[in-house]
Amino acid sequence: MAIAALGQLNTNELPSHGSRSVDCFEKLEQIGEGTYGQVYMAREKGTGEIVALKKIRMENEREGFPITAIREIKILKRLNHENVIKLKEVVTSPEPEKDEQGRPEGNKYKGGIYMVFEYMDHDLTGLADRPGMRFSIPQIKCYMRQLLTGLHYCHIYQVLHRDIKGSNLLIDNEGNLKLADFGLARLVAKDQNANLTNRVITLWYRPPELLLGATKYGPAVDMWSVGCIFAELLQGKPILPGKDEPDQLNKIFELCGAPDDTNWPGVSKIPWYNNFKPTRPIKRRLKDVFRHFDPLALELLERMLTLDPSQRISARDALVAEYFWADPKPCDPKSLPKYESSHEFQTKKKRQQQRQQQGEAAKRQRLQLPSQHSRLPPIQQSGQPHTAQIRPGPNPLMHGSQPPVPAGGAQVHHYGKHHGQSGGPNRYPSSRGCQGSSAVGGGYGIGPYPPQGRAPSYGSSVMPGGGPRGQGGWGASNYPQGGPYGGSGPGRGLNMKGGNRNPQYGGSQI
């Protein structure tokens, strides 16, 4: 090794230790973007392996490296499970980076920091939103069992995920599902009595205890989110698409009943209960609203969407529920067909281009634009074999995959938004069989700390302010407006990842 002259710094040779440079990877295309970073599909130059690079934006940081990124890296290094996304390494870009136009990105004196993940082809939301996509009952059981297995592992290691939603559940072309985006995750000891922030979990999947201001909670908050995902898979659309926190509570009360000290001992002591308690009695209607569900599925959903978190089913107990052992059994992940990968960021651009083209054609021809494709719910067919159905979509089948079974008179639709208007019925069938998964949208939570809503999985969960897809809710508001949320704006599915993240939400609550 060459020795630098006295008083000079040797910059010709780099040390053999420390993180590698991002120059070891070739960026192929951008597959996600969020407020706090971008996600790229990349190839490692030395091995040819395809990975996902998640860039951590540093230009807006005033207090050094983001604490949430430190926490995410620490937790992912601690976890090692087949149903949890694997963080391969962290690499750096020592030189200031440039954008596609050759202009410096952010602070010209700062380099970049990237998290390197294993590459996943799809996310659950992207698959579900493919035009004409129908999940079979064995397929739903397969995904739910993998989700619960990964979450049970996290809870054993005292990790609360705190942002379970479809876009954070990644799926590869082998049918394997992995939990991703641990930007809001937290290590919590069983005997820990510290206050935690209640401004976590995307709004549509946030449990009532957090909406009512609780700061002491445990794994039950994740299980409420799992229940929302489960019902969404069976129903074909989100079941609690609140516009803001008061509206979210209203939808929960209309479905699950009004909480009181009888059905939820101690609820009256939660900080914001008196501000938001219903002004009239409301009965629980979950069994009535979802009476078309399989009885065993409805029984499991009842235990997941229990108002009292102390009575909510755990991931371990859910795994041994009779639902997963009754026919039709969960299918083998490898039996699912393979499709060309597609990510939410890419399909969003395609939808925008298609709308622009349709708008121009409509102006020329004075025709109305076609409506969004409808999402398809499970359809039970007695005496018929369980076969997943798919109507033709934009993405072709990959070589060697099984051809889709048309769901009848289908036409080619443009990609449906998983966070905008649904435009019709639902999406998932209960047709039996394991074939029928196509994909759009993958994600590595574009930036571990997106501001709101659904998003690509490796971090960018962003929910637009437009109307919720698959309008939900039951009835008008049942409680006085205002309270601790103030005049909550229209931000749908708020993820609460934005803002000043180091002193999170004030005080010691993190």
Contact 346, 126 (CB under 8 A): no
DSSP labels, 152-202: HHHHHTTEE-----GGGEEE-TT--EEE---TT-EE--TT------S--S-
Distances (CA, A) of 330 to 93, 161, 167, 180: 44, 25, 22, 22
Contact 340, 398 (CB under 8 A): yes
Amino acid at 29: E
Own/partner contacts of 484-488, CB < 8 Å, gap of 24 or more, are 484/213, 484/271, 484/272, 484/275, 485/244, 485/245, 485/246, 488/244, 488/245, 488/246
Is 54 within any annotated ligand binding site? yes
- Among the options 121, 123, 129, 163, which is catalytic? 163
Q: Which two tokens stand for residue 372?
A: 């969004």
Neighbouring C-alpha atoms within 13 Å toward the C-beta of 268: 5
- Residue 296: CB atoms within 10 A of its CB come to 14
Distance, in Å, from the CA atom of 242 to the CA atom of 506, rounded to the nearest integer, reads 25
- Residue 11: CB atoms within 10 A of its CB come to 7
Residue 163: active-site member: yes
With H, G, I as helix, E, B as strand and everything else as coil, classify residue 289: helix
Annotated binding site for ATP: 54
Specify binding-site residues.
Answer: 54
- Residues with active-site annotation: 163
